[in-house]
Amino acid sequence: MATIPGKHHEDLVEAAGMPVGSGVSKSGYDPRLTNEDLAPLKKQQWGSYNIFAFWMSDVHSVGGYVTAGSLFALGLSSWQVLISLVVGITIVYFFCNLVAKPSQVTGVPYPVINRVAFGVLGANVPAIIRGSIAVAWYGIQTYLASAALDVVVLKLWPSLMPYADVNQYGFLGLPLLGWCTYALLWVLQAAVFWTGMETIRKFIDFCGPAVYVVMFLLAGYLIAEAGWSAIDLNLGEVEYHGLDAIPVMLGAIALVVSYFSGPMLNFGDFSRYGKSFKAVKLGNFLGLPVNFLMFSILTVVTASLTVPVFGELITDPVATVARIDSTFAIVLGALTFTIATIGINIVANFISPAFDFSNVSPQRISWRAGGMIAAVGSVLLTPWNLYNNPDVIHYTLETLGAFIGPLFGVLIADYYLVRRQQVDVDAMFTMSPTGRYWYRKGYNPPAVIATAAGAIIAVIPVLWTGGPGMHEIAKYSWFIGCALGFGVYLSLVKRR
């Protein structure tokens, strides 16, 4: 097997933590499109449990807890919420299987498989969009994990409380203690990532189950304090009945799909490691419908019990464990949720930009370098200011999120309806003008046009929230973008 020429070839390590050469780089592959991180895998060894653990890490976090709890506070009855959850997570499961197959069959990550639809150079369009979204959320998730760690630090050393006050010791909107915990978690995440995909696999195999243990312990403690009769699956008053509940249920379904839209889009970055598509599908089934429903029910049980035990509804798990009169319980709970948030951050927001940015310039940016670009960028965004300003989040992250739907629609339409699941792997790594995926100067106009059209229309209700009905329509921006990307792409391809 030939190697790829390059000034810093020794840094082009394979993403799965194996020696250089685990990606099969053939002699005809163009260096401008190839490194060992992007080339088709030599071995695909992940089983169903590894995929299951991936989804556990993605769900079992502070953000997942709050999202699941919020569904039960929409004014719906518990059975209406459960129906919405089942429908929403089933849609996610179905779409994840669609995205998983092309990367599992070819052994290449998300930005590379996009070369089939967008062109060998045009694939950088979806790569940069997805990578940018991941960078912003990476910083926010790191901040949330550091906030959980702050709880532990202040419980053990109460004298540090002044350093948690942004007005006394603050810089750029974050107190000194926050800077220290953020920096610590930033370094820890980078260290886990730097060791490679195999270490990440082992890390996420641990994170998801660990949160379940703490959640069950927390629920057991609250049940012991309040009794079984205090459990209530409605976190608020039931306000909607009959047909009036349908729009709210549809909004809940959209919320579930939107929550998973990021990792769902680039799930190929992980499914490529699956030893078979059957194993990936089983892992998806266990990790999505089964796991998400169980976690959601456990979440609402825990949240509902905070009312009789603490006298108020607490939807943040870290805040819940902080109210327990036990230093050990607080430290165990907060550390577990910190680790879990690190887990979701690495799988959802670190690995994606690592591949995406590496795809832009494979010989200059290795998988590791791409990840570090994302890590540095996440600090420069001062994510704590983003998170504390809902308007900024709305106009930046949701605007970028509106692009995810069209990217998904184009990829699925191309692979299943245009290519009929037939992909020339070698053609994804050639810059020859006669190459199958060269199109027009490396770009496929229908894919670019479909993405732009879908994103522009989908983002209108996100930005124009004051327009008639726009606030409600904005909930479905992913579906709107996906349908438009799918439809426009197919119509343009057929016309050509």
CA 427 to chain centre: 29
Q: Is 60:208 a contact under the CB 8 Å cutoff?
A: yes
The answer to whether the Cα torsion of 87, 474, 409, 14 is positive or negative is negative
Q: Is 356:131 a contact under the CB 8 Å cutoff?
A: yes
- Ranges under pLDDT 50 in the chain: 1-21
Q: 145-176 pLDDT, tens per residue?
A: 888 788 888 888 889 999 999 888 888 889 99
Cα gap 68→458, rounded to integer Å: 25
**pLDDT for 436:** 94
Q: Which of 207, 270, 254 is nearest to 89 (CA)?
A: 254
Cα gap 132→357, rounded to integer Å: 10
Partners of 170 in beta bridges = 175
Spatial neighbors of 187 by CB under 8 A, at least 6 apart, are none
Q: Exposed, middle or buried by CB within 10 Å (0-12, 13-18, 19+), for 227?
A: exposed
Phi, psi of 23 (to 5 degrees): -85, 130
Q: Is 88:289 a contact under the CB 8 Å cutoff?
A: no
Q: Is 411:117 a contact under the CB 8 Å cutoff?
A: yes
**pLDDT for 354:** 85
DSSP codes of every residue in 433-485: TTSTTTTBTTB-HHHHHHHHHHHHHHHHHHH-TTSTTHHHHGGGHHHHHHHHH
**pLDDT for 11:** 38
Query: Which residue matches tokens 């959601």?
Result: 296
Residue 487 tokens, joined: 């439809």
Cα dist from 247 to 74, 80, 140, 472, whole Å: 11, 11, 30, 9
Q: Is 130:354 a contact under the CB 8 Å cutoff?
A: no
Cα gap 184→126, rounded to integer Å: 31
Cα gap 329→318, rounded to integer Å: 11
Q: Which of 73, 491, 134, 3 is nearest to 315 (CA)?
A: 73
Characterize 40-65 residue by residue with b for buried, 16 or more Cβ atoms within 10 angstroms of its Cβ, and e for exposed: bbbebebebebbbbbbbbbbbbbbbb
Residue 33 tokens, joined: 């499109």
Cα gap 290→308, rounded to integer Å: 29
Q: Which amino acid is at 75?
A: G
Q: Which of 4, 54, 57 is nearest to 27 (CA)?
A: 4
Q: Is 45:273 a contact under the CB 8 Å cutoff?
A: yes
Q: Exposed, middle or buried by CB within 10 Å (0-12, 13-18, 19+), for 469?
A: exposed
**pLDDT for 16:** 39
Cα gap 25→22, rounded to integer Å: 9
Q: Is 153:177 a contact under the CB 8 Å cutoff?
A: yes
pTM across the whole model: 0.84
Cα gap 351→200, rounded to integer Å: 10
CA 403 to chain centre: 15
Q: Is 99:280 a contact under the CB 8 Å cutoff?
A: no
Cα dist from 342 to 57, 143, 330, 369, 417, whole Å: 9, 10, 18, 19, 38
Cα gap 165→178, rounded to integer Å: 9
Query: Which residue matches tokens 């809902």?
Result: 390
